[in-house]
Amino acid sequence: MPSERRGPILLLGGTAEARVLSQAIAVAGIPAITSLAGVTSKPEIYGGTVRRGGFGGVDGLAAFLRSNDIRAVIDATHPFAEQISTNAARAAGLTGLPIARLSRPPWKSGPGDFWRSTNDLAAAIAMLPSGAHGFIAAGASAADGISLREDIQLTLRAIEPPELSPGLAVTVILSRPPYPEMAERALFSKLKITHLICKNAGGDSGRGKLNAARALGLPVFMIPQPTLVSVDRELADIKSALHWIAALN
C-alpha cells in the first residue's frame, strides 16, 4: 500500500534484528525512528533516532503516528511481544498506514535434539523430573511463570534483574547476549544443568544454547511462538525490508 505521508519510518525494536535494520536504514539515508519499550537499562546502539517507553496503547500509538507524520511502520519486535504487535497493527489500521513485520521463523529440531513442546514456563517446570536443574533462558519477564518446587533447582538468565516472588529459590544470572555455543556448553556443564527451558524465538542470536543442549544431550522444553495478528507484509530479512521501504514511494 503506498503511503501519502512523507515523514520517518517507525521501527518497533527491542531485538538484534531491529538494531541491524535500524543501522541499514540509516546507512540508506532513510529517516526513521526506532522505538524501544525502555525495559533494558543500557540498550544497544541503534541507527537513526531512538525513542523509549510505551505509547499508551493503540490510541497513544495512533496519536504518535499522526503527530510524527509517520510514513509506515515496521514491527521488528520479539515474536513473543504479542501486545505491541497487536497494537501496532491496529494503530496502523486506524491511521491508514502500511505495516510490515520482520519475521523470525521458529527454530526446528533436528537429529540429536530432544525437544518437548510445552504451553508455557509453568507447564515446563511442572514436567521437570525430581532432582533436575532447569536452565530458564526466557528473560526477566519469565519470572512471573516460575512456580515453587522444592525437589528441583532452577537457574534463570536475564538482562535485567527479575522480580521474583518471595520464597522462590531461583539462581539468577544477569548477562547480555551474544551467547555462543561453546560458552553455553561450558556454562551448562559448570552448573550441572539437566534441562533447558526456552521460548522458540527463532533467529541466529539465540541458537547457541540449542546447539549446546544438543551437544550435551540435554532435553529442551520449548515454548512455541504465539500466532501474531496479520500485517500487510511479512519481511524475511533486512534486504526485503529495505525493498519494502523503497517501494513505499
Binding region for ligand NAP (CB under 6 A) out of 31-39, 106-114, 162-170, 231-239? 31-39
DSSP per residue, 79-100:
TT-HHHHHHHHHHHHHHT--EE
**What is the total count of residues that contact ligand NAP (CB under 6 A)?**
25
d(CA 44, CA 224): 27
139 sits near ligand NAP (criterion: CB under 6 A): yes
Q: Output Rg (C-alpha) for the chain, integer angstroms.
A: 20
Binding region for ligand NAP (CB under 6 A) out of 49-57, 97-105, 122-130, 166-174? 49-57
Q: Which three cell numbers stand for residue 56?
A: 499508551
Preceding omega of 43 cis (within 30 degrees of 0): no
Cα dihedral 111, 116, 119, 122, rounded to 10, equals: -130
177 sits near ligand NAP (criterion: CB under 6 A): no
104 sits near ligand NAP (criterion: CB under 6 A): no
12 sits near ligand NAP (criterion: CB under 6 A): yes
What minimum distance in Å lies between the beta carbon of 126 and ligand NAP?
A: 20
Tell me which of 8, 14, 206, 219 binds ligand NAP, using CB under 6 A. Answer: 14
35 sits near ligand NAP (criterion: CB under 6 A): yes
Binding region for ligand NAP (CB under 6 A) out of 48-56, 112-120, 124-132, 170-178? 48-56
Tell me which of 80, 107, 179, 188 binds ligand NAP, using CB under 6 A. Answer: 80
Sign of CA dihedral 55, 60, 61, 65: negative
Angle between helical axes of 57-67 and 82-95 (0-180°, round to 10): 50
83 sits near ligand NAP (criterion: CB under 6 A): yes
The residues near 125 (Cβ < 8 Å, ≥ 6 apart) are 134, 145, 146, 147, 149, 152, 154, 197
Is the CB of residue 99 less than 8 Å from the CB of residue 125?
no
153 sits near ligand NAP (criterion: CB under 6 A): no
Binding region for ligand NAP (CB under 6 A) out of 8-16, 110-118, 215-223, 228-236? 8-16
Q: Which residues bind ligand NAP (CB under 6 A)?
A: 12-15, 35-37, 39, 54-57, 60-61, 77-78, 80-84, 87, 139, 141, 199
